[in-house]
Amino acid sequence: MPLSLPNLALPLRRSTRSTKRGSLAESEEKSPKPASKKAKKVTKSQTNILLDAGDLEPRVSDAESSRALGKNAVKAKPASPSYANEDDTEDDTLKEGDTLPKINLKNEQGETINVSTLCSEKGAVLFLYPKADTPGCTQQACGFRDIYGDIIALDYDVYGLSKDSPAAQEKWKIKKNLNYHLLCDPQSKLIKRLGAFVPPKSTKRSHFIFEKGTGKLINIDIGVKPVEDPHKVLSFLTKRGNT
């Protein structure tokens, strides 16, 4: 009599296969999907095409931006010195009856003086010389030093005027014990207005007297001699004071 096989064998295999299939399905569901590949780099030519098409905006680094600004930046011009309260008619030579112009000059102490104010309290005598601490100029300056008291007594003050620097004027003043202020006109602004400028850069020895009270120019003497000049000024003021 033939042997019959157990009926449980086949169902068991199917069950095993089903279990395996279920496990695989669950495994597939749980396992993450493979990551997508990285985007390809855009080449320089492709970038240019996109820029032309307007799809991209150009990116400029901070360093490039700074370099561009440096190339295109306009350098600020240094501020010009202020000449407020100065006359702009620098080519007009003063004549008798004119008043002192509004010109700012330094004195030997480096103080700024507006020469239009020199006659606010007294009359003013301006004597001009080519260069401080030279023989002829020293004779002229010491002559005014020696009669300074006589000029002050007539209610006039004395001022030396040249192209020299404040330092040079102060050194000379101390050396010769000068008892009045020295004005510095390196650009010959006032010297030109007085008509005593000698091109290209010299000054004619001279003097100019401005009246007390009105500040008007009352005496001009250009081309004077160093020793004679102080006495000519005193003589003029003395005669004027007696009239």
pLDDT tens digit sequence for 79-119 = 434 444 565 455 689 999 999 999 999 999 999 999 999 99
The alpha-helical segments, DSSP class H, found in the chain are 9-30, 44-53, 62-72, 135-146, 148-153, 166-176, 189-193, 229-241
Residues in the chain: 243
pLDDT band at 17 (very low <50, low <70, confident <90, very high): very low
User: Is 137 labeled as catalytic in the residue annotation?
Assistant: yes
Query: What pLDDT digit, counting tens, does each position of 160-207 carry?
Result: 999 999 999 999 999 999 999 999 999 999 999 999 999 999 999 999
Tell me whether the omega of the peptide bond preceding residue 226 falls within 30 degrees of 0, making it cis.
Answer: no
Query: Which residue in the list 119, 137, 142, 184 is annotated as catalytic?
Result: 137
pLDDT of residue 196: 97
Please list, residue by residue across 176-199, b when 16 or more beta carbons sit within 10 angstroms of its beta carbon and e when fewer do: eebebbbbbbeebbbbbbbebbee
- How does residue 213 score in pLDDT terms, banded at 50, 70 and 90? confident
Query: Token pair of 105, please?
Result: 């000059």
Q: What is the mean pLDDT of residues 139-168?
A: 98
Confidence of residue 69 (pLDDT cuts 50, 70, 90): very low
CATH superfamily of 104-238: Glutaredoxin (3.40.30.10)
How many alpha carbons lie under 13 Å from residue 132 in its C-beta half-sphere? 25
How many other CB atoms are there within 10 angstroms of residue 203's CB atom? Answer: 22
Spatial strand order in the sheet of 206-210: 112-114, 104-107, 181-184, 156-162, 123-128, 206-210, 217-222
**Average pLDDT, stretch 38-57?**
49
Backbone angles phi, psi at 218, to 5 degrees: -120, -10
Structure tokens of 119? Answer: 């006659």
- Looking up tokens 């069950």 gives 15
Hey, what are 102's tokens? 């509004």
The answer to whether 122 and 223 have CB atoms below 8 angstroms apart is: no
Q: Is the distance from CB of 125 to CB of 159 less than 8 angstroms?
A: yes
The mean pLDDT value for 59-66 works out to 51
- pLDDT of 34 > 70? The answer is no
Is the confidence at residue 241, as pLDDT, over 70?
yes
The owner of tokens 């370099």 is 67
Encode 33-46: b = buried (16+ Cβ within 10 Å), e = exposed: eeeeeeeeeeeeee
Whether the CB-CB separation of 206 and 222 falls below 8 Å is answered with yes
Which H or E run contains 210? Answer: strand 206-210
